[in-house]
Structure 1
Amino acid sequence: MTDPGYEDDKEHQRYNDMLFFVADSNNGIPECCPCSGQIFIHISKAGTYIGKNYFVCKHFEDDGLHRKKEWGEAIEDEKKKLMRKVDDHEVKIRSLYSIEDRLSRLEEDEKKNDEEIEEMKYFLKIHYPNEFY
């Protein structure tokens, strides 16, 4: 025997989950609606919003569970997201330059060490000719 309010609780939980999905997906250009509906570009023909573009869910109802986002806002969000990626890549590239610099210094040190080793071998051959090197 289940609690009569259990079904209501489940329904409220599904509704809250859907609200979370809608809020979580409200970043950048929407690819699909949280209801899994297709997104299309809608051009407003009403009132003061004539000519304004929106990304809208095919099954849009004004209940907060579907995606409707102003085109300009979505593009701005997408631009910010891409700028963050570019900045991250720039940091990585700059770190590669420092690694490249360290590698060149290591190669120079290696050459110096090789020269010193050769000098030591020469010194040992001159001063200790009968030893095996």
Structure 2
Amino acid sequence: MGFRSERQFLVRRRAFSNFLLRIDDGVSHPRAQFASLVQMDPAEERRDRKRQQEYFNMLGNVADSQYGIPRRCPCGGRIIDEVRVKDEYDTLPGKSFFTCINYEADGFHYRQPWVIGVQEMERLRKRVEEAEQAHVKRLTLLLDNLTSDVYNLTVQVADLEKVCFE
């Protein structure tokens, strides 16, 4: 149990680095593999990292914002009503979608089935109606309490007027 020689240390370190490179080859993007071969300057690395971070943030924002009937796409494009034509049926219309005019399958653009958007709107309307009914019940109870308080106060005022003016 002593110190290893420097050569043994370097051989083990090289084997471990090769192992890590094999893992990186399976996981990383081809551009990242090329970037690891060619050293980038620190400013370029920061810009690349910022672009990646913006990409990941945008994916999350787009995924979280796909509720209801979309009005605008996150890319700024307008939403069009698209009907996918079915080849099997000539007489029946295809499935309808709310689609961004600049649609690409990269996760940044909307392409939402029409049925899902309409169902979500109906579900939201139902929730609003239920909330309004609960709010109306609470307001009715509050109004009844205030009416009884006003009646009690008018009775007390009448009693005080009798005592003071008699």
Look up the match of 2:81. Answer: 41
1:116 Cα offset (Å): 1.6
The number of residues matched between the two structures is 123
Residue segments in structure 2 that go unaligned for 5+ positions in a row: 1-40
Instruction: Tell me which residue corresponds to 1:105.
Output: 148
**Residue of structure 2 in register with 1:25 after alignment:** 65
1:87 equivalent to 2:130? Answer yes
Amino acid at match of 2:75: C
Partner of 2:46: 6
Q: Which runs of structure 2 are paired with 1:66-77 in the superposition (5 Å)? A: 66-77=109-120
Secondary structure in 2 matching 1:77:
helix
Q: Distance in 2 between matches of 1:11 and 1:47?
A: 41
Where does the alignment leave 5 or more consecutive residues of structure 1 unmatched? Answer: 126-133
1:74-105 Cα shifts (integer Å, max 9, x gaps): 11111122222222222221121012101210
Name which of 104, 129, 151 aligns with 1:61.
Answer: 104
State the identity %: 27
Distance 1:66 1:11, change over 3 A: same
TM-aligned CA deviation for residue 121 of structure 1: 2.4
Which residue pairs with 2:34 in the alignment? Answer: none
For the aligned residue pairs, the C-alpha RMSD in angstroms reads 2.0
Normalised to the residue count of structure 1, the TM-score between the two structures is 0.81
Which of the numbers 61, 67, 78 marks the counterpart of 2:121? 78
Which structure has more relative contact order (CA 8 Å, sep 6+)? It is 1
State how far apart, in whole Å, the 1-side matches of 2:88 and 2:59 are.
28
**Structure 1: 4+ residue segments shifted above 4 A:** 46-50
